Structure formats: structure tokens, C-alpha cells
Amino acid sequence: MALLEIKKYPDPILNKKCRKLEDFNKLEKLFQDMTETMYHNEGVGLAATQVGIDKRIFVIDIGEGPLYLANPRIIKKSNQQVSNEEGCLSLPGINLNIKRAKWIELEAYSLNENQPVKIKADDLLARVFQHEIDHLNGILIIDRVSFWQKLRVLIKLKRRE
């Protein structure tokens, strides 16, 4: 296994909508590397786009073991939204309150089970799914906050350079 380089904002790949995965073969090493990279950086999710790969896949682990999903899409979500703090491995040191649906239902291809699945999720799992699907659609947490909040984050990031 190998650690992969996590792309940091403002890398343009982070704003790219990823291509649908057509071939589900030969993904085991990529998922192992993504999982090792996620754990090494103390994340709970990692989308392929964050490591420079234009594929609609991600790995998550909220403490129940890694889950490998391809081509996920939300098919239902609650009207009730919950605001909670989120960080992002592509925006290190930045934590923002983000509103997300309290629960969701998604369809995806599970590489754990090698078949299509429907998953109902709430609370943290729903939040992580939504965060990672955002990545696959080229959306970052700073795209989900007000103009002024985004400006403050960009100034903070600029000062670090």
C-alpha cells in the first residue's frame, strides 16, 4: 500500500465533476491506498478527486470499517436540515458549520459487496456521504457557506502560503 498525495485547495481538480465509473475491475489497490491515506490523515472519508483521480468513487469509515462506493447518488433526503461542523482533508485546519439533510438514501455500487446497493443513512453517516458526494460533484465545504465566511477562509488560507 502507498500513501497518496491529497490535493489541496485551490487545485482545480477539486472543482471538477468526476466521471462515472464504468469498469469496476482492478480497483482494490486504489481503494487500499485511499483507505491508508484517509487513516494516515485522520479523515473519515476520502473521494478519488481529492487524490487527483477523476472517478466517482470514495471510501468512508466512521468507525465501522471501510466502505467503498462507486457512482453514488442521493435518491431521497429529508427536508429537515442539521448544521454541524465539518473539516476537509483538502482544506486542512478549516472547520465550518455546514447545513446538510438529517437523513438520506443513496444508490451506489458497493465494492465491498460487488453489487449495487441502497443505503439509508442518518446523522454522521449521512453527513459524510453528502460531503463525499459533494467532492465528486466538484463542491467543497467553502462553496456551502456565505460569501463573507468564504472570504474569511480564503484570507486565512492566503496567510498560510
How far is the C-alpha of 20 from the C-alpha of 82, rounded, in Å? 29
Q: Is 25 helix (H, G, I), strand (E, B) or coil?
A: coil
Pairing of strands 115-122, 45-47: unpaired
CB atoms within 10 A of CB 112: 12
pLDDT digits (tens, 9 = 90+) for 45-99: 999 999 999 999 999 999 999 999 999 999 999 999 999 999 999 999 999 999 9
pLDDT confidence of residue 160: 78
pLDDT confidence of residue 92: 93
Say whether pLDDT at 1 is over 80.
Answer: no
Helix, strand, coil distribution of the chain in percent, nearest 5: 35, 30, 35
Measured in degrees and rounded to the nearest 5, phi and psi for residue 72 equal -75, 145
How far is the C-alpha of 50 from the C-alpha of 88, rounded, in Å? 10
**Res. 157 pLDDT band, cuts 50 70 90:** confident
C-beta pairs of 123-127 under 8 Å, 24+ apart in sequence: 124/44, 124/62, 125/60, 125/62, 126/100, 126/101, 126/102, 127/82, 127/84, 127/86, 127/100
Catalytic residue among 22, 85, 107, 132: 132
pLDDT digits (tens, 9 = 90+) for 113-155: 999 999 999 999 999 999 999 999 999 999 999 999 999 999 9
Tell me 62's DSSP state. S
Model pTM? 0.96
The cell numbers describing 48, all together, are 478519488
How far is the C-alpha of 144 from the C-alpha of 99, rounded, in Å? 8
How far is the C-alpha of 143 from the C-alpha of 149, rounded, in Å? 10
Mean pLDDT taken over the chain? 96
What structural domains and CATH numbers belong to the chain?
12-160 (3.90.45.10)
Say whether pLDDT at 161 is over 80.
Answer: no
pLDDT confidence of residue 14: 98
Active site residue 132: yes
**Res. 44 pLDDT band, cuts 50 70 90:** very high
**Res. 24 pLDDT band, cuts 50 70 90:** confident
**Res. 158 pLDDT band, cuts 50 70 90:** confident
